[in-house]
Chain A
Amino acid sequence: MRELIVTSLTVNGQLRELAIEPRETLADILRDRLGLTGTKVSCDAQVCGACTVLVDGLPVSGCTFLAVDAEGKRVRTVEGLATDGVLSPLQQAFVDEAAFQCGFCTPGMLMAATALLEDEPHPSRDQVIHGLEGNLCRCTGYEPIVNAVLAVANRANGANGANGANGANGANGANGAADRGPA
């Protein structure tokens, strides 16, 4: 006998209602029930951050967050970052800086960085480094990821914000995405 719990949640702005087994994780239902396979599961132990999604604005590990606990909550995934086919400034910065290689950590990294910037729009390099410490990337060595986040932060600051010293790439980033709307 499988107990199913009818759960309503908003995923990337769309209200969804699903009958969910209690054991199913948010990553399970996003991937297997809603076809949102951008969210990836790697360590399955809340260490690597590949499955990071936002629930009511907070980053959580989709691999260990019970889907039934998303009842009534707003869930955001990598698929919800771009609007009308236009990349978010952070996504664009990831493209510009090549802040990915294999791409398996990227959805989680983008969500973690999105939460970071929503929480602190003007982070220092040190804040970015510490804010993303819980998201692993095995390909890049992190430098381009940190630069991409700082590029967006510096753009939000104006080209010569408080973090100008950190943002060697800020100017390039700003040019690259100047017409893509506010950060």
Chain B
Amino acid sequence: MIPRFALARPRTLDEAFSAFAATDGDAAWLAGGTELLQVMKMGFAQFGTLVDLKGLDELRGIRRTADGLRIGAATTHREVERSADVAEAFPALASLERGVANVRVRSTGTLGGNLAFAEPHSDPATLLLAAGASVELAGPGGVRALSVSEFVLGPLFTAREADEILTAIVVPAAADGEGRAYGKLAFFERPAASVAVRLQVRDGRVAAATVTVGSITEVPEVVAAAGDALIGEPADASGLGPAIGRAIEAFGDLDVVEDLNGSADYKRHLAGVLLGSTVRDALAEATADA
């Protein structure tokens, strides 16, 4: 049962800020509602007003820019999943989106809403973190951009001020020889463990590598030592084997949190299992047109 609330339906950011300000803080932003309305139903949150962001054109749409992709925060998972631009510029994201929750959630849930909610067992943030994406926040006082790690501060907790709106996700274009991939294991509705890899191949060797983990830690984290372990290694699946082993060892330092999916050591192990296949996927993309 969703508790009663009033609805504001602004058309512009300024209207949105005014509507929010008029509530004396007793408001929340509404986009797809797949997370917010669920939390309200469960009795965890109640707001006098929901300010609906679906009418703001500036939050919608996917654009390719000189630097990469700009995805409006209110773009639905389905739109991202089926976008020709995303398929071309960031196939790993399109593939990730195909596996988010279920077809109904993807019809209405938005990428921005997903990130703003910061559910720790969620897909996109882990990949976006690896890809070096940033988010744009607009508030009554102005606009700012934060990296994913600056934005996601804790489980269900972000750097967004209550009156700020997440407006867009900006993903840098893949460099030459760069590949990005995401892998997850899910035993329940949400992932138990996830891993994302971004690596760049030059002259047959891994020149740069970023490894992130999600769902096993409180927030998606960059595992720097895991990325470092891959750098300089031969850029073929078999040659990378020992380096992947060393990268997995780097997961040993993570503060993995036990949950219903399993205890900490098991979830850490799952991330290790995922790393191998995810590195191979990233490698395949990196070397596809080489």
Binding site for B on A (CB under 8 A): 2-3, 5, 21-23, 25, 44-47, 49, 52, 55, 58-61, 64-66, 68-69, 112, 115, 131, 133-135
Binding site for A on B (CB under 8 A): 2-7, 33-34, 37-38, 41, 50, 52, 54, 78, 101-105, 107-108, 189
Partner of B37, one of A3, A49, A66, A115: A66
Q: For B33, what are the chain A residues with a Cβ–Cβ distance below 8 Å?
A: 64-66, 69
Question: Once the chains bind, are B4 and A2 in contact (CB under 8 Å)?
Answer: yes
Question: Once the chains bind, are A112 and B37 in contact (CB under 8 Å)?
Answer: no
CA distance in complex: A7, B227 (Å): 53
Question: Once the chains bind, are B104 and A46 in contact (CB under 8 Å)?
Answer: yes
Question: Once the chains bind, are A25 and B104 in contact (CB under 8 Å)?
Answer: no
Q: Nearest chain-A residue to B37 (Cβ)?
A: A64
What's the nearest-Cβ distance from chain A to residue B59, in Å?
15
Which 4 pairs of residues, A with B, have the shortest CB-CB distance?
Answer: A134-B102, A22-B7, A58-B107, A23-B2
Q: Nearest chain-B residue to A46 (Cβ)?
A: B105
Question: Once the chains bind, are B2 and A5 in contact (CB under 8 Å)?
Answer: no
Q: For A2, what are the chain B residues with a Cβ–Cβ distance below 8 Å?
A: 4
Q: For B7, what are the chain A residues with a Cβ–Cβ distance below 8 Å?
A: 3, 5, 22, 66, 68
CA distance in complex: A115, B182 (Å): 28
Question: Once the chains bind, are A61 and B2 in contact (CB under 8 Å)?
Answer: no
Q: For B52, what are the chain A residues with a Cβ–Cβ distance below 8 Å?
A: 69
Q: Nearest chain-B residue to A44 (Cβ)?
A: B41
Other CB < 8 Å A-B pairs besides A3-B6, A22-B7, A59-B107, 13 of them?
A22-B50, A45-B38, A46-B102, A46-B105, A49-B104, A52-B104, A61-B105, A64-B34, A64-B37, A64-B41, A69-B52, A134-B101, A134-B103
Partner of A46, one of B3, B4, B34, B78: B34
Partner of B102, one of A23, A49, A58, A65: A49
Q: For B2, what are the chain A residues with a Cβ–Cβ distance below 8 Å?
A: 23, 25
CA distance in complex: A61, B33 (Å): 11
Q: Nearest chain-B residue to A48 (Cβ)?
A: B102
Question: Once the chains bind, are A58 and B78 in contact (CB under 8 Å)?
Answer: yes
Partner of A59, one of B5, B37, B104, B189: B104
Q: How many A-B residue pairs lie within 8 Å, measured between CB atoms?
A: 68
What's the nearest-Cβ distance from chain A to residue B8, in Å?
10
CA distance in complex: A60, B189 (Å): 17
What are 7 pairs between A and B in contact, CB < 8 Å? A22-B5, A22-B50, A46-B101, A49-B102, A52-B104, A64-B34, A66-B7
CA distance in complex: A134, B107 (Å): 13
CA distance in complex: A45, B6 (Å): 22
CA distance in complex: A49, B107 (Å): 13
What's the nearest-Cβ distance from chain B to residue A132, in Å?
9
Q: For A60, what are the chain B residues with a Cβ–Cβ distance below 8 Å?
A: 104, 107-108
Q: For A64, what are the chain B residues with a Cβ–Cβ distance below 8 Å?
A: 33-34, 37-38, 41, 108
Q: Nearest chain-B residue to A64 (Cβ)?
A: B37
Question: Once the chains bind, are A131 and B41 in contact (CB under 8 Å)?
Answer: no
Q: For A52, what are the chain B residues with a Cβ–Cβ distance below 8 Å?
A: 104
Question: Once the chains bind, are A112 and B38 in contact (CB under 8 Å)?
Answer: no
Q: Nearest chain-A residue to B107 (Cβ)?
A: A58
What's the nearest-Cβ distance from chain A to residue B54, in Å?
7
What's the nearest-Cβ distance from chain A to residue B30, in Å?
8
Q: Nearest chain-B residue to A112 (Cβ)?
A: B103
Partner of B5, one of A23, A44, A69: A23
> Which of B38, B50, B101, B103: most chain A CB closer than 10 A?
B103
Q: For A131, what are the chain B residues with a Cβ–Cβ distance below 8 Å?
A: 103
Q: Nearest chain-B residue to A55 (Cβ)?
A: B107
Q: Nearest chain-A residue to B109 (Cβ)?
A: A46
CA distance in complex: A45, B2 (Å): 11
Q: Nearest chain-A residue to B104 (Cβ)?
A: A61
Partner of A23, one of B3, B38, B107: B3
Q: For A59, what are the chain B residues with a Cβ–Cβ distance below 8 Å?
A: 103-104, 107
What's the nearest-Cβ distance from chain A to residue B38, in Å?
6
What's the nearest-Cβ distance from chain B to residue A42, in Å?
13
